[in-house]
Amino acid sequence: MTDFKRDGSHLAYCPPVEKWDDWVELDPEAWPRRVEKHYSLVPTVCFNCESACGMLAYIDKETGQVAKFEGNPMHPSSRGRLCAKGPATINQIHDPDRVLYPMKRVGERGAGKWARTSWDEVLETFGTRIRKAMQEGRGEEVMYHVGRPGADFFMERVLQAWGIDGHNSHTNVCSSSARLGYLLWHFSDRPSPDHANARFILLLSAHLESGHYFNPHAQRIIDGKMAGAKLAVMDPRLSNTASMADYWMPTYPGTEAAVLLAMAKVILDENRYDAVFLKNWTNWEELEVDGFTAKGQSFEAAIGALKEHYAQFTPQFAEKESGVRADVIVKIAREIATAGSRFASHLWRGSASGNLGGWQPARALVLLHALTGSIGTEGGHSLNHWNKFVAKPFKNPPPQTRWNEILYPPEWPLCTHEMSFVLPHFLKEGRGRIEAYFTRVFNPVWTYPDGFSWIEMLRDEEKVGLHAALTPTWSETAWFADYVLPMGFSSERHDLMSQESYAGRWIGFRQPVNRVLRERAGEKFEYTYQANPGEVWEEDEFWINLSWAIDPDGSMGIRQYFESPYEPGRKVTLDEYYGWMFENSVPGLPETAKKEGLTPLQYMRKYGAYEVNRDVYKQNEKTLSESELAGAKVEQGGIITKQGKAVGVMINDEAVVGYNTPSRKLELFSKTMADWKWPEFTLPEYYRSHIHRGAQAASLERSADDFDPKYAPVVQWPKDAHGEVYTLLPIFRLPNLIHTRSGNAKFLYEISHKNPLWVNPEDAKTLGGVRTGDLMKVHTEIGFFVLHAWVTEGLTPGVVACSHHLGRWRINQDENVERMSSAWVDLKEVGNGQWKMRQLQNVSPYDSPDADTKRVWWSDAGVHQDITFPVHPDPVSGMHCWHQMVRVEKAAPEDRYGDIFVDTNLSFAVYQRWKALARPAPGPGGLRRPLWIPRVVRPADSAYYFKK
Ligand code: SF4
């Protein structure tokens, strides 16, 4: 496909826009007769991952029902293409097991009994409880906890309007280690690789098949390859991505930084670095390392010190650590140097989220970009906030002045996001309680480690007063809520999104397609649930109405933010909320719309997306204008400040914006790390992960010179844990699954529904001749799970692997459950904190309004491994380190497929051992965390300080 053009001239097979009102196709079900079907095509945005690809809903003109989803060719990021998960939205909206009405529990929490309630009752109940908490000064007991965000800034604004520090997210089980590594370099916590224009692409993990911006990135990686770029993949598994690569580097997990630093050494030693870029744009003048101080020294002397410091990272050392051949490391380093400014890379989960110290591979990777001058360049590595556009709504509330220590506790002052996965342990330690808890498209009982600790927390009404699960599907977490509130899928809701998916900035508008179409025809709806199936609502209208319920007369100062910007005093509608943004906050959109005789809102409803601009490279070099410089002064190091805040930097006598770091340059040397008690990590480094072979030896009480207990706690095996010690990779995803929401997408489950244990043939021999299909028992530090083996050469020896996304279970056999994706289980607490789960019934065909449910041919729902993992908060980034040291053996005769056992007393003890390795705040000046490090919903600066 040629590149996106706003006039649609890049299209080959997609319906042209002028035919969207009456698109004609032949009815496949009528074949061999030629029967025409007429559709209205309405754009929306996929909700099945965070890429926000553009979709077209094909609405059958005869039935008024959505018949299918295809790509929206007018969307600049996805360019008319979707992955398998986008079209599967059709399954989700027509799923006979979906939640259609607001439900309230009857009986005890977790008993699985529900009755229908009304939206008015829900708003009244939560409005009253939250108002009371706020009036009693307990606003921090209100918590919003998001799994899939799928929107930009809406909730941040709601929470700041409420004046509370109550935003929690899933990010610390996902990407926060990678984010810390990126952030320390350049403030931006996400990379935005320009794959399409690169000459060499290095992927750490499986981004081509299942990356964070999967479809938009995959097509641009292929664009790059077709234009001659080479692709290298570092991954212990022979993933589909690795199979497409020119180089596959099957690293032993956790050693990736050693390989990257060895590449950096090659580039330094061979003097193939970009000296001009390094000299201008890194803070080399602040370098202090191994007794060398750069202050007053030449650039060349600083480079010499770097060479000496990284001398230990020989390719041979990296080979010994990682298993990747030294000559391959050298070859790739030279290819990267040759690509120069056109070197692109991506790291998001994989090694970053699997390992203790997982933030170091991101730092080491950016070192390669700094050395090659490939930051902000065409074909290089860019910063997410340069390529993402977040439109601002009307009337924004001030930042909250409180600090919630359950979200950002003092032990992890450098965590980029909330310490969400240890919440049950915080409550167990008596650090606080929750009065009103909203989980939003979020299923921690199933997707988090240590799910039984979550069950224990959620069922305790002292700890969690009132819990609403805002969800499109039934889930393991929803069963432990008080209310299950049905929220819409992609075609049933509004959201505005942008992602840094290529070298350009864009917005995508998700919209409830049936409502939009019926309003076009003249119908009127007050709320989206009136046009959706059942009473499925959307969060935007829910939060607006809840804000009014909390502050009905406006006396708390909340309601004002949810009144119409055009008619204060009246409740804002979503047409007004988004219409105001499109008119006032999106450069160029009003003019573009006007050319077609449309308002900006009509334009977005018609096309579903808008490309804001492509002038995105080298934003650090933007010169400061005269007005920006008025009243500014140049401080030490060339930093330009205005009213006490850094606004730019002098580079070669020119005043430019620079980066949002303390030095306004790329921070090769991080003084922040030294200031916050990690002086050994001021430079990108490699240190050994919690699953390194040294850590394995220590767990067996064998001597291990290469294990340092300062960074990793010694694993203490439960008494009945037997078998050989392995590293378990539990976080690779199957490209067609979507966490919890694939459970109601029959097309997707038909493709993938098993998650066996990958075992290398060498290890299969060591384990006593394991064959594919044998039943294996995998012991973790807190319990075990039982599953089948899959013997495969597509995995590094010494490592076993099991995909996440599978192993759904349900406690009810038939009612209020997703039957095609889950096993019916017997769940028992057999002692204090000791939990057993046994599968009673596999997936089987069943009667429903969808005839396909009688045709379900698969029986396996997989095995839920995550629930047997203890929490591993990285002492620096706070991120859960997902990889597990496990003991593997053949299952005993009494073990059955899917058996699970966990002792949550052990999980609490593991949490304590990891917590002890953190180095808590305060930092300099009594700070809770560095002022320059952002938060999702940033409080006022004053809240960053501990109260005296
Ligand atoms: S990559 Fe797939 S799941 Fe993600 S938004 Fe695009 S189509 Fe949807």
Q: For residue 794, what pLDDT is reported?
A: 94
> Is residue 135 within a helix (H) or strand (E), and if so which, with residue range?
helix 119-135
Residue 754 phi/psi, 5-degree rounding, is -125, 145
The rounded distance, in Å, linking the Cα atoms of 162 and 158 is 6
Strands 633-634, 639-642: pairing kind: antiparallel
Mutation to probe ligand 1, out of 72, 83, 210, 348 (largest number of atoms < 8 A from CB): 83
Token pair, residue 695, equals 């850590």
Residues with CB under 6 A from ligand 1: 46, 48-49, 51-53, 78, 82-83, 85-86, 214-215
Token pair, residue 95, equals 């799923």
Q: For residue 10, what pLDDT is reported?
A: 61
The DSSP annotation for 201-238 comes to EEEES-HHHH-TTHHHHHHHHHHHHHTT-EEEEE-SB-
Given a contact cutoff of 8 angstroms between Cβ atoms, the answer to whether 890 and 776 are in contact is: yes
- Based on C-alpha coordinates, what's the Rg of the chain? 27
Q: Ligand 1 centroid vs 736 CA: distance in angstroms? A: 10
> Is residue 516 within a helix (H) or strand (E), and if so which, with residue range?
helix 513-520
Q: Ligand 1 centroid vs 82 CA: distance in angstroms? A: 6
Q: Ligand 1 centroid vs 207 CA: distance in angstroms? A: 13
Q: Ligand 1 centroid vs 44 CA: distance in angstroms? A: 12
Q: For residue 3, what pLDDT is reported?
A: 63
Instruction: Give whole-number Cα distances, 305 to 242, 264, 268, 669, in Å.
Output: 36, 14, 11, 12
Length of the chain: 948
The strand pairing partners of 835, in sequence order, are: 829, 902
The rounded distance, in Å, linking the Cα atoms of 91 and 70 is 13
Q: For residue 210, what pLDDT is reported?
A: 81
Mutation to probe ligand 1, out of 44, 45, 46, 207 (largest number of atoms < 8 A from CB): 46
Q: For residue 1, what pLDDT is reported?
A: 44
Report the amino acid identity of residue 755.
Answer: N
Which residues lie below 8 Å from residue 462, measured CB to CB, with a gap of 6+?
433
Mutation to probe ligand 1, out of 45, 47, 50, 53 (largest number of atoms < 8 A from CB): 53
Which atom of ligand 1 is nearest the CA belonging to 81?
7
The strand pairing partners of 104, in sequence order, are: 115, 483
C-alpha closest to that of 806 among 737, 907, 712, 717: 737
Q: Ligand 1 centroid vs 25 CA: distance in angstroms? A: 24
Token pair, residue 44, equals 């929306």
C-alpha closest to that of 478 among 450, 447, 443: 443
Q: For residue 9, what pLDDT is reported?
A: 62
Q: Ligand 1 centroid vs 794 CA: distance in angstroms? A: 26
The rounded distance, in Å, linking the Cα atoms of 60 and 208 is 34
Given a contact cutoff of 8 angstroms between Cβ atoms, the answer to whether 241 and 206 are in contact is: yes
pTM metric for this prediction: 0.97
The rounded distance, in Å, linking the Cα atoms of 285 and 296 is 8
Which atom of ligand 1 is nearest the CA belonging to 55?
7
Q: What share of the chain is helix, strand, coil (3-state, %, to 5)?
A: 35, 20, 45
Q: Ligand 1 centroid vs 55 CA: distance in angstroms? A: 9
Handedness of CA 240, 190, 47, 935 (dihedral sign): positive
Q: Ligand 1 centroid vs 216 CA: distance in angstroms? A: 8
453-495: pLDDT as tens digits: 999 999 999 999 999 999 999 999 999 999 999 999 999 999 9
Given a contact cutoff of 8 angstroms between Cβ atoms, the answer to whether 381 and 182 are in contact is: no
Given a contact cutoff of 8 angstroms between Cβ atoms, the answer to whether 409 and 918 are in contact is: no
The DSSP annotation for 816-847 comes to TS-TTT-EEEEEEEEETTEEEEEEEE------
Report the amino acid identity of residue 716.
Answer: Q
Task: Look at ligand 1, atom 1, and give the residue with the nearest C-alpha.
Answer: 215
Task: Look at ligand 1, atom 8, and give the residue with the nearest C-alpha.
Answer: 86
Which residues lie below 8 Å from residue 228, measured CB to CB, with a gap of 6+?
199
Handedness of CA 669, 675, 676, 678 (dihedral sign): positive
Q: For residue 778, what pLDDT is reported?
A: 98
Which atom of ligand 1 is nearest the CA belonging to 215?
1
Q: For residue 741, what pLDDT is reported?
A: 86
Q: Ligand 1 centroid vs 166 CA: distance in angstroms? A: 29
Residues of the chain with pLDDT under 50: 1-2
Given a contact cutoff of 8 angstroms between Cβ atoms, the answer to whether 778 and 728 are in contact is: yes
